Every structure is written in C-alpha cells, then in structure tokens.
Amino acid sequence: MLSKRQIGILKLLELGDRYTGEQIAGMLGVTARTVRTDMRVLSNTLPTFGAFIDSKRGKGYRLILQDSEAYNHMKMQTQEMEDQSDRVTKLALLLLQRKTYLKLEDAAETLYVSESTIKNDLKVLKKDLERRGLTVITKPRYGIRVIGSERQLRNVYRTFLEADTTIPGLKGQLYQQLRHLVVSVLQEEDTLVTEIGVDNLVIHIWIASERMDAGLVADISKSDKEHLSRLKEYQVAQKLAKSVGNVLGVELPTDEVVYMTMHLLGAKSVSYEDKGMKDFTKVVNSRIIEISASLLRVADEHMQLSLANDNELLSGIALHLKPALNRFKYGLTIRNPMLSEIKQAYPKAFDASVLMGKKLQELTDVSINEDELGYLALHVGAAMERQESQRVKKRALVVCATGIASSQLLYYKLQARFSGRMEIAGTCSAADLQRRSLEDIDLIITTVPLPETLSKPIINVHTLLRDSDVGHIERIIADRLQTLSAYIPADHIFLQLSYTKRDDVLQFLVAQMEKRFIVPSNLLALIKEREEMAPTFQENFVAVPHPIYPVMDEPVVLCCTLQRPIDWGGHEVQIIFLFCVPKQYNEGLQQLYESMVVFIEDRQKVKQLIQAQDLAACLPLLS
C-alpha cells in the first residue's frame, strides 16, 4: 500500500487539475526530489488498482481513473493500516497526560473502540514506550500507567503530541497566542531563536501547563538550578513565565522557569545575516570550533568527501553545535520534521553525520540522536551540493560530415536542449577528428559513422536531433535511475529465512559476503557499530544495514527476506538489504541509493517480495 504522503499527493490530483512537481512539493512541504520519488512509486503501483499517472514534461502530473471501485478499495486498505497508528498515538497521549492509572474501559470509551482493540493497541504502545526508556505498569482493577523521569515523560509526550495530526491544540488559537507572546518577549530581550527553536519553546510551555494541571512539575537538580539561575537566559525565562502565566492563568514555579532556561539555551541561534559567515569565530568559542573541525576530518577520513577545508560548512556545524551541546547536556530533544527525507535524499551525508556523531560522543561524552544527526547531515548535504555545482559539466564534441552547416545546426539544437547540463566543446568534421585531442572530451555526438576504437563514448544522432536521439543522450549525461536488479545478482538473494533476531541475520549475511568477497575481518562489528549509532530501519518493514564507514572497492548489495518480522531498533523488519558502499563516492552510487528509495517506498512491491517463495517471483520485483 501507499504511504500517507503519497495518499496526500493523490488527494491533490483527485481535484482534477494538473500539477507540476514543484507545485506539489510546495503544497506538501517536501522537496521536489521527494515528489519525483513518490511519483515513480505511484506510477508503478496505481495501474494495479485501476488508475495511472499521466505525466507531461513541463506541464506536470494528472490522475486518470479507470476503475474507481478498485482505486477506492486501495485507499480504504491504506486508511485501515493508518488507523491503528493514530489510535496508538492517542492512547499514548491519554496515558502521558496523567500521573494516575487509566482504566481500559475509559480508554475504549474515549477512543470509541472496544476493550479488545485497546488491548491490542496497548501491546504495540508498550513496546514503543519501553524502547524510549519508559515503563508501562498494568494493575488489576486500576488500569495502566506509564513510569519514568519527568524529563523523559515530557520528551516522549512531545513526540506523540506532534505525531497526532488530528489534535486541535497545536493548531488552535491558544497555541498561536502563546507563539506570538514568546516571539514578542524574545524580540524585546534581543534573544535570537530559530523558527524551530520558537516552536520547541511553545510546545514545551504547552506540555508544561498540561503536566502541571496533572500535578507534575519539572525535576531540576540543585546544581543545575544554582548554575542556570545566574545566567542572562534565566531572566528572559522569568519574563516569559510571567507573560505565559497570565495567558494560561497559572503561576510557573521556579523549577519550570529553570527548565525553560534550559530550552532557551538549547534554542538560541546566531544570525548569519547579522554576524556574517566570516565572523562566526566571534560568537562561537574555540573549543566548539575545534570540535567541529575534528568532526569534518573524521567525515573526510572515512567518506572521502573533501570537506575539511570548507569554511562555510565549518561555520555551519559550529553554529549548530553551540545550542545543540546545551540540548545534549540537559537531555532536551528537538524534532527534525525532515529526518526521513534527509535520510532518503542525502544517504551519504547522513552516514557522514553518523561518523561525526560518534566522534562528538568521544570528544564530549554526549550521545546524539537521529534528529540531531539529521541536522548535521543537512549541513553536509548542502556542502556536497556546493561541490556538485562547481563540477565541470560533461563536455561533448559534435562531429558532422563537413563540419560546417550541419554541425552548426546540431550545435545550436544541443545547446537549446541541454543547456546547463552539457557543455559543447566544439564542432569538427570526421576527418578533423583524427587530429584532435580528446583528453578534454567526455563524449562524442556524431551524425556520421565513426570507428569504435575511439576512447570516448560515441552517440550517433540525426542532424535534426530526433526524440530518440535526445533520449539516448539523456541516458548518457543524466543521472538515470537503474533498478535494484542491476546491483543485486541472483546469488545475492536469500528468501524466507527463519531467523528471529537481528544479530543472527547480520551474521548470516556477513558470512555470505565472506564467501564471495575479500572483506575486513571486523565487518560484522562495523555493521553493528553503525546500528548502535542509529538503526538502519527505513520504512515498510525494510532495513538497510551497512558498515559505519565504507570498506569495499565496489558497491555490493545482498538481500534477504524473513518468514516473520523481527525487531530492528524498535521497528518490525522483514526485508534486509546488506549495503556495502565503495570508498569512493560516484554518480553510480547515487543511482543505487535512489533505486533503493524507489523500491522501499513502493509498499505493494515490498509486500510481494516478503511473500516471494522463489527467485522467479522475486527478481521481477527488483527490476
């Protein structure tokens, strides 16, 4: 079935209009690349359910329905899958809003479902809460209750609060009033906080008020209270607490003011516009700059990204770490709404951020979560994009029979069609080609036959450049997506394994690697180390484990499916792709990443691969 985001795209297209990828991206708040990936999934999936996507270059996408009944049935199935997730979120909020027990019959009545349904949902929720460090207690005749430190409870409460897309509170008038108040106080106190930082503060205030209503106050140590109450941010927090108290009709105790001070320290930012990139050393202490430089050196050492001398990246990492280290110190969480997209769009950058997070832990003794890693990956991804924009485009030499009129005609057609993506290095006749050096040329576009012994790729085209010629050139110069089958031969696929534990699966796959390739003796340890930093679960029952840093000369992918789902960092997984990327990054590797994303996003294909009993059923799904 489709993801919630893909259903959102369909709802837009159901209006009957044609939308471009950029328009859809803007309306859904995602990147154009994400929309393109979703469109590939929809194009592959919808024909099975009586619909297809009509796509026209420059005009956008349109939904065509051929069998409304089959299409609506598919949407209903998707909604049923989402319903339990929504109920689990609401059940979590009911539990985390109180310090007393919640009776099952009360929960069932509140959520308009049966007690048996609540019991099933509770099994899912209990596993999730325990993974987050909380304890679920069930007491006969009393009900259920969640136990943990107040800081843990608030962090988890926030996660579920933001996950509940139907909750009116975070969209309501009171929330907007609080946000406006917070922004006003911060401006009056000349305290610069990012938009995400402001949202963190407002959500913290919202949660604090609800917890105080239940008689629960922040737990602050004596040492933290003494230290933080002497800072300037504490004075800002006092003013905020007074203003907020007037709106909510409550008086925030000292511990809540101190806790708000922690959030301020974790949210404060530095304006690039006000300070200028070159002045970041004036607002970030030398220790943080040294740490940032160390993180970049680690990324360069293992990922060969050539980033250590990128001063713009260094300043971005340092300015991010300044408030982030305060968040780590006080155990505060910051949500990264773009995390899933970052991991898909910039997998290499995210892996680099994992290495940086490991180094940061060594240097500061703080543990960094996936959301923070995602923000580091954004900085790295931006630097990689800057590098890409500076690379020389593919240079083509145009060859025609005479090298005069016909070559000039083709030259201008190519310039108009591939401007910005291909540089025409010049034109010449077939005779002149023998005397011309090809060292500065990436490909030859010709209207006449040429000897195949030339050292560069040759593309034969018509002088008038027909559509088939354009497609041929596109395949050479563009980042054309290949299917997974191009990277996974049949003897790298293992179906319906009976393993029930993650480590046993990893041990099996590594053993298969050792039979086929020369691999480091500690490959299994490197894969487990990567899992400890951030689980490699993607979505739709798929995990993509890989070593914490590249160890191979060429990309290698092994695939296995399991008879039953297993736990993988708190998520159920039934398909595993062991992913060993090469030490040197290249365009082919990006194609592999993108083809993996396209497959994982296609719930129908994932489901069929899980059910496949033999290679005959499996291989077409990877094609």
Each residue of 1-58: pLDDT tens digit?
Answer: 576 678 888 888 888 788 888 888 877 777 777 788 788 888 878 888 888 888 887 7
User: Could you give the count of Cα atoms lying within 13 Å of 607 in the half-sphere of its Cβ?
Assistant: 6
What's the pLDDT score for residue 80? 55
Q: Which among 255, 270, 382, 383 has a CA at the least distance from the CA of 324? A: 270
Answer for the pair 560, 576: CB distance below 8 angstroms, yes or no: yes
Query: Could you give the 3-state DSSP secondary structure of residue 144?
Result: strand
Q: Which of 21, 47, 48, 23 is nearest to 35 (CA)?
A: 21
For the segment 244-251, the average pLDDT, to the nearest whole number, is: 81
Fold of 273-337+346-377: PTS-regulatory domain, PRD (1.10.1790)
Average pLDDT over residues 353-362: 91
* 65-94 pLDDT tens trace: 888 888 887 777 665 555 677 788 888 888
Higher pLDDT, 474 or 515: 515
Q: How far apart are CA 450 and CA 460, in angstroms?
A: 9
**What is the Cα–Cα distance from 572 to 595, expressed in whole angstroms?**
22
Residue 604 scores a pLDDT above 60 = yes
Q: Would you call 613 exposed, middle or buried from its count of C-beta atoms within 10 A (0-12, 13-18, 19+)? A: exposed
Assign 282 a pLDDT band (cuts: 50, 70, 90): low
Q: What is the mean pLDDT of residues 152-165?
A: 78
When mean pLDDT is compared across 14-23, 164-173, 301-310, 335-344, the lowest value belongs to 164-173
Is-same-fold flag (4-66; 74-148)?
yes
pLDDT(276) > 50: no
**Angstrom distance (rounded) from CA 347 to CA 589:** 10
What pLDDT is stored for residue 412 in this prediction? Answer: 79
In the prediction, which pLDDT does 164 show? 58
Half-sphere exposure of 354 (CA within 13 A, CB side): 26
**Per-residue model confidence as pLDDT tens digits over 462-484:** 877 776 677 677 666 654 446 67
Q: How confident is the model at residue 504 (pLDDT cuts 50, 70, 90)?
A: very high
Average pLDDT over residues 316-328: 85
State mean pLDDT over 492-509.
94
Q: What tokens appear for 33 in the block?
A: 């690349």
Say if residues 280 and 319 touch (Cβ distance below 8 Å).
Answer: yes
pLDDT (tens digit per residue) in 408-458: 778 878 877 776 668 888 888 877 887 788 888 888 888 888 876 777 888
| Residue % of the chain over a pLDDT of 90 | 12
For the domain with range 394-477, which CATH number is right: 3.40.50.1100, 3.40.50.2300, 3.30.70.600, 3.40.640.10?
Answer: 3.40.50.2300
Residue ranges of domains in the chain: 4-66, 74-148, 169-267, 273-337+346-377, 394-477, 484-622
Distance between CA 131 and CA 127 in Å, rounded? 6
CATH class of 169-267: mainly alpha
Mean pLDDT of the chain: 82
**The CA-based dihedral angle spanning residues 166, 167, 173, 176, taken in that order and rounded to the nearest 10 degrees:** -100
Domain 74-148 has CATH 3.40.630.10: no
Residue 118 contacts residue 107 (beta carbons within 8 Å): yes
| 59 has pLDDT over 90 | no
Mean pLDDT of 234-250: 86
Task: Average the pLDDT over each of 289-293, 490-494, 536-540 and give the range with the smallest value.
Answer: 536-540
Q: What is the DSSP letter of 458?
A: E
Rounded Cα–Cα distance for residues 196 and 199 (Å): 5
Beta strands 51-56; 60-65: pairing state: antiparallel
Question: Which of 134-138, 419-423, 442-446, 510-514 has the weakest average pLDDT?
Answer: 419-423
Q: Cα–Cα distance between 364 and 353 in angstroms, integer?
A: 16
CATH architecture of 4-66: Orthogonal Bundle (1.10)
Q: What's the pLDDT band for 524 if we cut at 50, 70, 90?
A: very high
Query: Taking the domain 484-622, which CATH number applies?
Result: 3.40.930.10
Q: How far apart are CA 511 and CA 491, in angstroms?
A: 14
| pTM (global) more than 0.75 | no
Distance of CA 615 to the CA centre of its chain: 31
Mean pLDDT computed over 597-613? 85
The pLDDT of residue 208: 83
Helix H or strand E segment including 423 = strand 422-429
* Cβ proximity of 402 and 417 under 8 Å: no
The segment with the largest mean pLDDT, out of 100-104, 313-317, 495-499, is 495-499
Indicate the pLDDT class of residue 500, thresholds 50, 70 and 90.
Answer: very high
> Is residue 112 over pLDDT 80?
no
- Predicted local distance difference test score (pLDDT) of residue 585: 60
Confidence of residue 277 (pLDDT cuts 50, 70, 90): very low
Please answer whether residues 285 and 318 qualify as being in contact, where contact means their C-beta atoms are separated by less than 8 angstroms.
no
pLDDT tens readout for residues 185-233: 888 888 877 777 788 788 888 888 888 877 778 878 888 888 888 888 8
Confidence at residue 274, expressed as pLDDT on a 0 to 100 scale: 42
Q: What's the pLDDT tens digit per position in 526-543?
A: 999 999 888 898 888 999
Residue 35: its pLDDT value, please?
84
The whole-angstrom separation of Cα 413 and Cα 383 is: 33
Per-residue pLDDT, 574: 95
Q: What does each C-alpha distance from 214 to 97, 210, 211, 554 come to in angstroms?
A: 7, 7, 5, 58
Q: Confidence class of residue 578 from pLDDT cuts 50, 70 and 90? A: very high
